[in-house]
Structure 1
Amino acid sequence: MTFSTLVVAAGTGMRAGAGDAKQWRTLAGKPVIRWSVETLLAAGASHVVVVVAKGEEARAAAALEGLTGWRLAVGGETRAASVRAGLETLAPAPEQIVLVHDAARPIVPEAVVRRLIDAIEGGADAALPVLPVADTLKRRAGETIETVDRDGLFRAQTPQAFRVGALSRAWTQWPGDQTPTDDAAVVEHAGGRVDLVEGDARLMKLTYPEDFDMAERLIPRQTRVGSGFDVHRWGPGGSVWLCGIEVPHDQTLIGHSDADAGLHALTDAILGALSAGDIGDHFPPSDPQWKGASSDRFLQHAADLVSRRGGKIVHVDVTLICEQPKVKPHRQAMRERIAGLLSLPLDAVSVKATTTEGLGFTGRNEGLAAQAVATLDLPAA
């Protein structure tokens, strides 16, 4: 199935509360506008025209960076004007199918797209996804409350599908002093055939601040687990950094940074869960800027990567393997430090220690080892 798409993203979204317009806000780590553009391209759109307000071109380019198959158009003062501006950018191919979609509906199930295309290929001039009205409807008429019969009533969603020629012709017949509530209404007014197809509750429109939390819950997610391991040898010194805490000791750990094996192992565990390489990829020991660096910077970098992916760290567990120093007196402080660095509740952070009963390099007091496990919650790819 071949089709093009207009994604209308020129509105201000005043009801969504203070801050950026809703299409530029972040949902599960990605700009809202990127969600629908990615999905429509993946569903087979030959190209996507993203219609934005004048002056927002650079912001749109940043939000869609790395994607191919899209281009920008500048919209008008109203949604209707923006749709018409987008239509003008399409190649003059009257039989081409075009989907018109609101950027504020970030979750676009591919099955809905298929149903829309099937309806247009079956002879409809327009097709739109709908859901039946399930709630009892009330209308206030002055001081009187009326119950509205909901039989035959539907909630209209986008994307809505059309033949380019049919939609363009319908717009020429639309009264200039009126504003349609959706594009299917324009085809209805022109006498075209409009088909209703089954919609999807996930195609919700972000309108109010609380809608963002609901949309986050609708996005499929996955649990990822990563492990990390690190070793440093002992050398002359008067203290050692372990899990972000300076512990008095008659030796120190030798390394390019502060040699905090606990935080190094934990950083690698988080990077592993992200499939993002290891600590050496992000902070090469050959780079002089990391000489003596505090390892909490490495850990916070890994946590930032999780946040940018729209994920969250659920739980971390660090095991220090050494004969000395004694870890138990400092364990609570270590847990609190890690919890603070990762913005986790204390009961989501475990730190413990063990020995190798005098065996191996740790048993001979030649060095200290640490291993860690991190559990993440991420949006499904």
Structure 2
Amino acid sequence: MSTIAVIVVAAGRGTRAGGTPGSPAKQYRTIGGRPVLARSLEAFSSHPRVSAIVTVIHPDDRDLYALSSEGLGKLVDPVTGGATRQESVRKGLAALEASKPEIVLIHDAARPFVPADVIDRAIEAAKKTGAAVPVLPVSDTIAVCEGDSRGETLDRAKLRSVQTPQSFRYADITAAHKKAAEEGREDFTDDGAVASHIGLTVSVFAGDPANTKLTTPEDFTRAEERMLANLPDIRTGTGFDVHEFVPGDHVTLGGVKIPHDKKLSGHSDADVVLHALCDAIFGALGDGDIGSHFPPSDMQWKGAESSKFLAFARDRVKARGGMIANVDISVMSEAPKIGPHREAMQKKIGEVLGIAPDRVGIKATTMEGLGFVGRREGLCAIATATIRLPL
């Protein structure tokens, strides 16, 4: 039985995709509540014919990669990319040297919608011809232009747009990349061109219009619309939690440790923010509550970080094929003050749920000295979660 490996190229910066200053590269931006790279990796991880996946990443993106790859199988350790796409692919090929797969598929991380049948066609084409790329017919008229002047019109019957995954016999494409590097050629835009350069015959097979590449801000808008159209069942849940103060030196709220002259009493870390949020998500799913999933009678949860509970709630949504659209939490507290820690809490919750921080609302209010909160005997939080599920 032949071994099929995949290289997912995810080391680029994707500057044409836009985004706010400081936002992650496009492969880590979310669509449908999950990073683009997570969706690309999942397409291959879930494919029964794929045996190993190596991801080529930027050295600054290890934490983002870890979040995007969480829970996925068949992944080998990621490798750091190079200055060019070709160098990144060479490093991915080198990472497979020990296993020497028969066939390797090379895929751009920015194509998160690759269908399983395209992966099948890529594998079969490489087995048959040794080198193959997916293509689509060109429907527009294509003209050569210089500046503002239109020149020759090309025969579109002979033109095709080229997609990924591109598939090759591992030994052949490794040799092709090695020769291109020895010649100092780093200008090829895809691996099919690298293969052609050393004289390999590169066959073509049918791609899929759904297998789009996310390049511009408009591409991301269309991708988000596409995801939401597939998740028409919109649900909202609410959650509430309260814990009393006991002697201590900090409280944990929203996954963030905040210095304080008391701590919250509870079986786990007593994070009222995350406990309320878990119940909101479970409520939207109609899936019990935090106590039914993590009973305080079970000693394995004693002192546990509540982010583990939140990750479980997130995975319950994913298991139903859904996404978390946004969450909103209100904290009732006289002290400590929540405002100075709001951004850290948004970031932490966003990371666990796989959503952008601006989809996490954190608000706080005092109780004007009234009730147990006003007497500084404890804290409470109310949370709302909106999720989307397929029908």
**Code of the aligned partner of 1:88:** A
Structure 1 range deviating more: 82-91 or 275-284: 275-284
Give the corresponding residue for 2:7: 6
After superposition, give the CA deviation of every residue in 1:75-121 in whole Å (9 maximum; x if it has no partner): 10111100001100103465611110111111110000011111112
- Structure 2 residue corresponding to 1:42, chosen from 43, 46, 52: 46
Query: Which of these two proteins has the greater Rg computed from alpha carbons?
Result: 1
Unaligned runs of 5+ in 2: 240-277, 298-312, 327-358, 362-384
Measure how far apart 1:177 and its partner are: 3.6
The answer to whether residue 136 in structure 2 is matched with residue 131 in structure 1 is yes
Give the corresponding residue for 1:168: 174
In the TM superposition, 1:69-88 aligns within 5 A as: 69-70=74-75, 71-88=77-94
In the TM superposition, 1:51-200 aligns within 5 A as: 51-70=56-75, 71-92=77-98, 96-122=102-128, 124-146=129-151, 147-174=153-180, 175-200=183-208
Q: Aligned partners of 2:124, 2:97: CA distance in 1, in Å?
A: 22
Instruction: Describe the shift of the 1:279–1:140 C-alpha distance in structure 2 as closer, same or farther (beyond 3 A).
Output: same
**What is the count of residue pairs matched by the alignment?**
270
The answer to whether residue 210 in structure 2 is matched with residue 202 in structure 1 is yes
Instruction: Describe the shift of the 1:140–1:94 C-alpha distance in structure 2 as closer, same or farther (beyond 3 A).
Output: same
Give the corresponding residue for 2:230: 221
After superposition, give the CA deviation of every residue in 1:261-317 in whole Å (9 maximum; x if it has no partner): xxxxxx97963553543365589899xxxxxxxxxxxxxxx99x979953449xxxx
Q: State the secondary structure of the residue aligned to 1:207.
A: coil
C-alpha contact (below 8 Å) 2:86/2:186 kept by paired residues: no
Q: Aligned partners of 1:156, 1:218: CA distance in 2, in Å?
A: 22
C-alpha contact (below 8 Å) 2:322/2:387 kept by paired residues: no
Give the corresponding residue for 2:323: 310
Unaligned runs of 5+ in 1: 231-266, 287-301, 314-340, 344-373
- Could you tell me the TM-score, scaled by structure 1's length? 0.62
**Code of the aligned partner of 1:76:** G
Q: Aligned partners of 1:86, 1:118: CA distance in 2, in Å?
A: 22
Q: State the secondary structure of the residue aligned to 1:197.
A: strand
Q: State the secondary structure of the residue aligned to 1:108.
A: coil
Give the corresponding residue for 2:17: 16
Identity %: 43
Q: Aligned partners of 1:120, 1:6: CA distance in 2, in Å?
A: 15
- Could you tell me the TM-score, scaled by structure 2's length? 0.61
Q: Aligned partners of 1:161, 1:312: CA distance in 2, in Å?
A: 36
C-alpha contact (below 8 Å) 2:84/2:186 kept by paired residues: no
Measure how far apart 1:23 and its partner are: 0.8
After superposition, give the CA deviation of every residue in 1:317-364 in whole Å (9 maximum; x if it has no partner): xxxxxxxxxxxxxxxxxxxxxxxx999xxxxxxxxxxxxxxxxxxxxx
Instruction: Describe the shift of the 1:176–1:227 C-alpha distance in structure 2 as closer, same or farther (beyond 3 A).
Output: closer
C-alpha contact (below 8 Å) 2:28/2:68 kept by paired residues: yes
Q: Aligned partners of 1:227, 1:57: CA distance in 2, in Å?
A: 33
In the TM superposition, 1:246-257 aligns within 5 A as: none
Give the corresponding residue for 2:33: 29
Instruction: Describe the shift of the 1:167–1:377 C-alpha distance in structure 2 as closer, same or farther (beyond 3 A).
Output: same
C-alpha contact (below 8 Å) 2:238/2:283 kept by paired residues: no
- Structure 1 residue corresponding to 2:219, chosen from 206, 211, 232: 211
C-alpha contact (below 8 Å) 1:119/1:195 kept by paired residues: yes
Measure how far apart 1:226 and its partner are: 6.9
Q: Aligned partners of 2:237, 2:155: CA distance in 1, in Å?
A: 61
